[in-house]
Amino acid sequence: MKKQKKYKIEEEMSKLNLTMYKRALKYIPELLDIAFNTFHNYRKMAIDAKADIPYGMVRKLEVFFGLKEGELANYTIDCKSLKEMVLAEIKGQNDQEEYKGDM
């Protein structure tokens, strides 16, 4: 069973014709100022890998492939906003103070 990739780089590369694919293999590492092997590692990165691609490079790759922000990632980040977390903490503290006051 193939492991799911963290980013859709390989998927986007496979959409290119052979000429574009070969040129992309050469140009993308140069444009990102990284080694070819690093680009290869980015393409093969498993979804559960601790390693990650710097945000700026992900954005550049999205632009190179004509994708919108966030479309290259093969995962979503489930997280509450800072405001929601702070308000929940304040509410929790207020509930505790009310509970202590009932004793």
Inter-CA distances, 55 with 7, 26, 52, 88, 98, Å: 12, 21, 9, 29, 44
- pLDDT tens digit at each of 103 positions of the chain: 678 999 999 999 999 999 999 999 999 999 999 999 999 999 999 999 999 999 999 999 999 999 999 999 998 888 899 999 999 998 887 776 665 655 5
Tell me what pLDDT residue 101 has.
58
Residue 102 DSSP label: T
Structure pTM? 0.75
Measured in degrees and rounded to the nearest 5, phi and psi for residue 80 equal -80, 160
**Alpha-carbon gap, residue 86 to 43, rounded angstroms:** 37
Tell me what pLDDT residue 98 has.
62
**Alpha-carbon gap, residue 47 to 52, rounded angstroms:** 10
Q: Which residues is 73 bridged to in the sheet?
A: 7
Tell me what pLDDT residue 2 has.
73
Tell me what pLDDT residue 46 has.
94
- Per DSSP, the residues of 37-94 read HHHHHHHH-BTT-S----HHHHHHHHHHTTPPTT-SBSS------HHHHHHHHHHHHH
Tell me what pLDDT residue 91 has.
85
Q: Tell me the longest C-alpha to C-alpha distance in the chain.
A: 76
